[in-house]
């Protein structure tokens, strides 16, 4: 079923175009971009020779071939539109990958919503967490772990006989969220009371999650070796090897971030040669703490309108930390107001 789609992508990839695009991204990620806003494009559009199906998320979760089609559809669109998105696929199992190793139950959305699944909190809150601590590090093949690693291997086998796909379609690391995100998903809403009542238990659980995170990423890097000093994520390039999600941290004070979350983020960044930090929502209250972490090379802020832009800029691009996937309207408004973006802002 998927052979003709693989052939279509292989035919349409121009190694010279993809190589030059990648080099432009490396110049940007290395802090040497001279454009006010980095927004590359391919020199031409290359339409498909077959009609690509749109595979719904729930269908992709249940079938490896369906997931290949779902992920490669985005690559096909990038080629057809001549965009500057690097060709990239992932094991697209949603936010519950790491929680599922600890017994977190995946919650499937209605098929028609075409949205990635979520995770139900463990019954019992802090009591459930204590049991997990007693059990120690989980088996990496439980929950969604087995599917993720087998899907990664499947990509490698599919691409191996196709030189353009294997060279220019990047398999990027699965969504492991961030330690605090995983903690919140498993603990549930009572976490925000237990942050005050049981801070040592929270720290112990975050430590266990971080150790598990490192084991999963270590095994992933054995399967799909990282690039030399760079990583492709969401079809963008950044320095380092990892993209840590910090959505739950937006609910915490700067002091709580400093005490609870930052040590975990630092440990991950140290382990994997640095990387990026992502958060949805408002994070301008803790962005200064994020910016001070050695190894943070990029930040992905998906809702700049909820943040004070100058605070974000002062604690990222002014310090050589790049904003990737930034909202174009916000970047262009800053330029009109005379704001120097230092060549450190990428917009689609």
pLDDT, one tens digit per residue, over 135-179 is 999 999 999 999 999 999 999 999 998 999 999 999 999 999 999
List, in order of start, the domains of the chain with CATH numbers.
3-347 (3.20.20.210)
* 197 phi and psi angles, rounded to 5 deg: -80, -30
Strand pairing partners for 269?
none
Beta strands in the chain (DSSP E): 88-89, 105-107, 118-120, 170-171, 230-233, 236-239, 242-245, 275-279, 296-301, 322-326, 345-347
Instruction: Kindly report, residue by residue over 92-145, the tens digit of the pLDDT.
Output: 999 999 999 999 999 999 999 999 999 999 999 999 999 999 999 999 999 999
What integer is the mean pLDDT of 200-220?
98
Residue 1 pLDDT level (bands cut at 50, 70, 90): confident
Cα(154)–Cα(24) distance, integer angstroms: 30
Spatial separation of the C-alpha atoms in residues 246 and 275, rounded to whole Å: 13
Beta strands in 196-256 (DSSP E): 230-233, 236-239, 242-245
Residue bearing tokens 């659980």 = 205
| Residue owning tokens 């832009």 | 309
């Amino acid at each position: 079923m998927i052979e003709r789609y693989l052939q279509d992508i292989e035919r349409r990839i121009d190694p010279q175009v993809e190589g030059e695009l990648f080099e432009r991204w490396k110049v940007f990620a290395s802090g040497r971009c001279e454009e006010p806003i980095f927004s590359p494009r391919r020199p031409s559009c290359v339409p498909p020779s077959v009609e690509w199906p749109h595979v719904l998320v729930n269908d992709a979760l249940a079938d490896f071939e369906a997931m290949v089609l779902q992920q490669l559809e985005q690559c096909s669109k990038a080629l057809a539109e001549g965009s500057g998105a690097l060709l990239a696929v992932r094991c697209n199992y949603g936010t519950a990958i790491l929680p599922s190793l600890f017994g977190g139950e995946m919650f499937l959305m209605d098929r028609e919503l075409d949205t990635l699944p979520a995770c139900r909190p463990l019954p019992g809150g802090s009591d459930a967490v204590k049991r997990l601590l007693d059990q120690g590090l989980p088996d990496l093949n439980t929950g969604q772990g087995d599917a993720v690693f087998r899907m990664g291997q499947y990509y490698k086998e599919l691409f191996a006989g196709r030189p353009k796909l294997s060279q220019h379609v990047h398999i990027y690391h699965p969504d492991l969220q961030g330690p605090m995100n995983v903690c919140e998903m498993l603990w549930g809403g009572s976490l925000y009371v237990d942050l005050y009542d049981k801070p040592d238990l929270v720290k112990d659980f975050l430590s266990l999650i971080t150790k598990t995170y490192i084991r999963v990423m270590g095994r992933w890097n054995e399967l799909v070796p990282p690039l030399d000093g760079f990583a492709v994520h969401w079809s963008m390039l950044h320095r380092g090897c990892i993209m840590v999600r910090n959505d739950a941290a937006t609910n915490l004070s700067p002091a709580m971030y400093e005490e609870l979350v930052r040590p975990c983020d630092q440990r991950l960044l140290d382990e994997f040669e640095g990387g990026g930090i992502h958060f949805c929502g408002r994070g301008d209250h803790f962005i200064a703490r994020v910016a001070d972490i050695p190894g943070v090379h990029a930040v992905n802020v998906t809702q700049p309108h909820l943040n004070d832009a100058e605070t974000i800029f002062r604690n990222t691009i002014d310090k050589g930390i790049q904003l990737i996937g930034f909202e174009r309207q916000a970047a262009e408004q800053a330029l009109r107001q005379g704001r120097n973006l230092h060549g450190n802002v990428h917009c689609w």
